[in-house]
Chains A and B, each alone.
Chain A
Amino acid sequence: MWGFLKRPIVVTADINLSLVALTGMGLLSRLWRLTYPPAVVFDEVYYGQYISFYMKRIFFLDDSGPPFGHMVLALGGYLGGFDGHFLWNRIGAEYSSNVPVWSLRLLPALAGALSVPMAYQIVLELHFSHCAAMGAALLMLIENALITQSRLMLLESVLIFFNLLAVLSYLKFFNCQKHSPFSLSWWFWLTLTGVACSCAVGIKYMGMFTYVLMLAVAAVHAWHLIGDQTLSNVCVFCHLLARAVALLVIPVVLYLLFFYVHLILLFRSGPHDQIMSSAFQASLEGGLARITQGQPLEVAFGSQVTLRNVFGKPVPCWLHSHQDTYPMIYENGRGSSHQQQVTCYPFKDVNNWWIVKDPGRHQLVVSSPPRPVRHGDMVQLVHGMTTRSLNTHDVAAPLSPHSQEVSCYIDYNISMPAQNLWRLEIVNRGSDTDVWKTILSEVRFVHVNTSAVLKLSGAHLPDWGYRQLEIVGEKLSRGYHESMVWNVEEHRYGASQEQRERERELHSPAQVDVSRNLSFMARFLELQWKMLVLRSDDSEHKYSSSPLEWVTLDTNIAYWLHPRTSAQIHLLGNIVIWISGSLALAIYALLSLWYLLRRRRNVHDLPQDAWLRWVLAGALCAGGWAVNYLPFFLMEKTLFLYHYLPALTFQILLLPVVLQHISDHLCRSQLQRRVFSALVVAWYSSACHVSHTLRPLTYGDKSLSPHELKALRWKDSWDILIRKH
Chain B
Amino acid sequence: MPPATGGGLAESELRSRRGRCGPQAARAAGRDVATEAAARSPKRPARGSQRFEAAGRWALLALVTLLSFATRFHRLAEPRHICWDETHFGKMGSYYINRTFFFDVHPPLGKMLIGLAGYLSGYDGTFLFQKPGDKYEHHSYMGMRGFCAFLGSWLVPFAYLTVLDLSKSLSAALLTAALLTFDTGCLTLSQYILLDPILMFFIMAAMLSMVKYNSCANRPFSAPWWFWLSLTGVSLAGALGVKFVGLFIILQVGLNTIADLWHLFGDLSLSLVTVGKHLTARVLCLIVLPLALYTATFAVHFMVLSKSGPGDGFFSSAFQARLSGNNLHNASIPEHLAYGSVITVKNLRMAIGYLHSHRHLYPEGIGARQQQVTTYLHKDYNNLWIIKKHNTNSDPLDPSFPVEFVRHGDIIRLEHKETSRNLHSHYHEAPLTRKHYQVTGYGINGTGDSNDFWRIEVVNRKFGNRIKVLRSRIRLIHLVTGCVLGSSGKVLPKWGWEQLEVTCTPYLKETLNSIWNVEDHINPKLPNISLNVLQPSFPEILLESHMVMIRGNSGLKPKDNEFTSKPWHWPINYQGLRFSGINDTDFRVYLLGNPVVWWLNLLSIALYLLSGSIIAIAIQRGAQLPAEVAGLSQVLLRGGGQVLLGWTLHYFPFFLMGRVLYFHHYFPAMLFSSMLTGILWDTLLRLCAWGLASWPLARGIHVVGILSLLLGAAYSFYLFHPLAYGMVGPLAQDPQSPMAGLRWLDSWDF
Chain A contacts to B: CB under 8 angstroms = 223, 226-227, 229, 233, 236, 311, 313-314, 331, 455-458, 476-481, 483, 540-542, 597, 600-602, 634, 636
Contact = CB atoms under 8 A, between A and B. Distances in A.
A325 B349 CA distance: 42
Given A478-B575, A542-B507, A600-B266, A636 B561 contact: no
A602 B268 contact: yes
A522 to B, nearest CB: 21
Given A597-B265, A601-B265, A601-B272, 5 more contacts: A223-B620, A227-B621, A236-B621, A458-B561, A481-B563
Contact of B620 (A227, A457, A481): A227
B620 A634 contact: no
A331 B617 CA distance: 70
Given A458-B560, A600-B265, A540 B621 contact: no
A227 B617 CA distance: 8
Nearest 9 interchain pairs by C-beta: A458-B561, A481-B563, A483-B561, A600-B266, A479-B747, A227-B620, A313-B560, A229-B622, A226-B620
Contact of A601 (B266, B621, B656): B266
B559 interface: yes
B582 interface: yes
B268 A540 contact: no
Contacts of B265: 597, 600-601
B641 interface: no
Contacts of B559: 458
A236 B617 CA distance: 11
A476 B578 CA distance: 10
B227 interface: no
B279 to A, nearest CB: 12
Nearest to B561: A458
B262 A478 contact: no
A226 B614 CA distance: 12
Interface in B290-313: none
Contact of A476 (B506, B507, B582): B582
B560 A226 contact: no
B563 A479 contact: yes
B435 interface: yes
A663 to B, nearest CB: 30
Interface-central residue, B262, B265, B561, B622, by most chain A CB under 10 Å = B561
B749 interface: yes
A470 B3 CA distance: 74
B122 interface: no
Contacts of A477: 749
Interface string B246-287: 000000000000000010011010001000000000000000
A177 B649 CA distance: 36
B658 A636 contact: yes
Interface-central residue, B560, B617, B622, by most chain A CB under 10 Å = B560
Interface of B: 262, 265-266, 268, 272, 435, 494, 506-507, 559-563, 574-575, 578, 582, 617, 620-622, 656, 658, 747, 749
Contacts of B266: 600-601
Contacts of B574: 479
B560 A314 contact: yes
Contacts of A236: 621
Contact of A457 (B435, B494, B561, B582): B561
B561 to A, nearest CB: 4
Contacts of A458: 559-561
A542 B506 contact: yes
Contacts of A456: 561
Contacts of B494: 331
A687 B156 CA distance: 64
A311 B561 contact: yes
12 contacts: A226-B620, A311-B561, A314-B560, A331-B494, A456-B561, A479-B749, A480-B563, A480-B747, A481-B562, A481-B563, A601-B265, A601-B268
Given A226-B617, A597-B265, A540 B622 contact: no
Nearest to A475: B582
A597 to B, nearest CB: 7
A477 B731 CA distance: 14
Contacts of B560: 313-314, 458, 483
Contacts of A597: 265
A193 B310 CA distance: 60
A313 B558 CA distance: 14
Contacts of B621: 226-227, 229, 233, 236
B713 to A, nearest CB: 26
A634 B506 CA distance: 27
A331 B494 CA distance: 10
A233 B618 CA distance: 11
B251 to A, nearest CB: 16
Contacts of A542: 506-507
A458 to B, nearest CB: 4
Nearest to B511: A540
A634 B658 CA distance: 10
Contacts of B262: 600
Nearest to A236: B621
A212 to B, nearest CB: 15
Contacts of B658: 636
Contacts of B656: 634
Contacts of A229: 621-622
Contacts of B622: 227, 229
Contact of B563 (A478, A541, A602, A634): A478
A229 B622 CA distance: 7
Contact of B561 (A313, A331, A476, A479): A313
A104 B126 CA distance: 73
A646 B621 CA distance: 37
A634 B582 CA distance: 39
Nearest to A400: B561
Nearest to B563: A481
A423 to B, nearest CB: 12
A479 B503 CA distance: 41
B314 to A, nearest CB: 22
A542 to B, nearest CB: 6
B264 to A, nearest CB: 10
A636 B659 CA distance: 12
A313 B506 CA distance: 31
A311 B560 CA distance: 9
A311 B559 CA distance: 13
A311 B564 CA distance: 14
A478 B747 CA distance: 7
Nearest to B266: A600
A132 to B, nearest CB: 32
Contacts of B747: 479-480
Contacts of A479: 563, 574-575, 747, 749
Nearest to A546: B509
Contacts of B563: 478-481
B274 to A, nearest CB: 13
A299 to B, nearest CB: 23
B551 to A, nearest CB: 14
Contacts of A601: 265-266, 268, 272
A662 to B, nearest CB: 26
A631 to B, nearest CB: 10
A329 to B, nearest CB: 16
Contacts of A457: 561
A721 B747 CA distance: 58
A430 to B, nearest CB: 16
Contacts of B435: 540
Nearest to A535: B560
A141 to B, nearest CB: 33
B62 to A, nearest CB: 41
Contacts of A480: 563, 747
Nearest to A478: B563
Contacts of A483: 560-561
Contacts of B582: 476
B282 to A, nearest CB: 17
A456 B559 CA distance: 13
A601 B658 CA distance: 44
